[in-house]
Amino acid sequence: MAQFVLFDEEFQQIKEVIGRLRADAQAKVVFIVDKNGQQIAAQGDLEALDTTSLASLTAGNVAATDGLAKLIGEKEFPVLFHEGERDNVYISIVGQRVILVVIFDERSSLGLVRLRVRKANQDLERIFVAIQAKVESEKERRTDGVDSPFAEITDDDIDSLFRE
Amino acid sequence: MTFINYAAREINCKIVYYGPGLCGKTTNLQYIYDRTNPAAKGKLISLATETDRTLFFDFLPLDLGTVRGFKTRFHLYTVPGQVFYDASRKLILKGVDGVVFVADSQEARMDANVESMRNLEKNLEDHGFDLNTIPYVLQFNKRDLPTALPADEMYRQLNYKGEPTFEATAPLGTGVFDTLKAVAKQVLMELRKK
């Protein structure tokens, strides 16, 4: 079973990139989701938003569109855009592994968002390549005898989660 | 794919409820949603048709509590059971950490159970998973119906690898949390091996 691990250092870097993107693109919200629907990081006016549901639906949306792409012989559709009356959603795939979502209204424009996302995509891709490398080296370190914090999980730990 | 977030000290896991059409996958999630403390759950999202059949998936995020200082969050998904939604079903299995197979106990649905299980096996394989090794729980649902087959007869036909098996009546909640607990336990135990 594969695992995706996010460390504090890279988490801060990701937040910085998407925070900058939000400001540069004059967007309301920017967030990053992995392709399985787990939210990785978010920036912006999040109070009124159910980001967990957004993450899951975004991933479902991208998965369905990926399926469509394959059916017509495309590798993927790297960009999805949904235009609403007030708010718009711009979705792009970063390095075939994670999904970048920008929500914006009339204070910004599709052209500006597209331009800023292109730059942020490159920065994010670099970070995710670094994360992957770190996970690999952690794995090797572990086989050298250093255990993960979960190696010691006991039945009691798990049972306690289900106690009323 | 378990997502371990050291920055937020969270573990996120994905569990998929699989099974033939109308076997009670959504009802399992609905019961869990109804009986969970509001602070520990998110919204239950159902992408369903006008006749309340699952079209793409149902989704329920659950916080189970803390293990070793990490918040454990489970994302529960159901697949659309109807045969012709296979492409969508396959998408939902992407990155799955544990599977619950909900079987319909009615005798007339045994063929559908068997067909759906074969479909699960194949769709998991296409994602590079193996039903023999992935955390897996079997649930015999609709035990309250008069047409329900004896549990041992169902076990004979549907048991895959000696997985934990529970009898359930999902609308009343019987067996629902036992099933969830059993699969969550296996998923967390997998973390030990990493």
Does A1 fall in a domain?
no
Instruction: Tell me the chain A residues in contact with residue B72 when contact means C-beta distances shorter than 8 Å.
Output: 161
- pLDDT tens, residue by residue, A43-101: 999 988 899 999 999 999 999 999 999 999 999 999 999 999 999 999 999 988 899 99
Which residues form the domain of A83? 8-161
Instruction: Tell me the chain A residues in contact with residue B192 when contact means C-beta distances shorter than 8 Å.
Output: 150-153
Selection from A64-78, B39-53, B104-118 with the highest mean pLDDT: B104-118
Q: What is the DSSP letter of B98?
A: E
- pLDDT tens, residue by residue, A102-128: 999 999 999 999 999 999 999 999 999
Q: Does B42 touch chain A (CB under 8 A)?
A: yes
CB contact under 8 A, B68 and A60: no
Complex confidence, ipTM: 0.84
Q: Does B38 touch chain A (CB under 8 A)?
A: no
* H-run or E-run covering A88: strand A88-94
CATH number at residue A101: 3.30.450.30
Structure tokens belonging to residue A48: 């009124």
CB contact under 8 A, B181 and A162: yes
Q: Does B89 touch chain A (CB under 8 A)?
A: no
Q: How far is CA A45 from CA A106, A113, A126, B39, B117, in A?
A: 15, 17, 26, 21, 44
- Count of the separate structural domains present in chain A: 1
Give me the pLDDT at residue A147, please: 59
CB contact under 8 A, B75 and A56: yes
Min Cα distance A112 → chain B (Å) is 31
Residue A144 has pLDDT above 80, yes or no: no
Disruptive mutation site among A8, A34, A99, A158 for chain B (greatest number of B CBs within 10 Å): A158
Instruction: Please tell me which of the candidates B14, B42, B129 has its beta carbon nearest to residue A50.
Output: B42
Q: How far is CA B155 from CA A12, B101, B141, B164, B167, in A?
A: 50, 12, 12, 11, 11
Does A2 fall in a domain?
no
Q: What is the DSSP letter of A62?
A: H
Dihedral in degrees, nearest 10, Cα atoms B26, B31, B35, B39: 0
Instruction: Give all domains of chain B, ordered by start, each with its CATH number.
Output: 3-193 (3.40.50.300)
Give me the pLDDT at residue A156, please: 84
Q: Which of B82, B74, B81 has the alpha carbon at shortest distance from B98?
A: B74
Name, in order, each residue with C-beta under 8 angstroms of B111's C-beta and a sequence gap of 6 or more: none
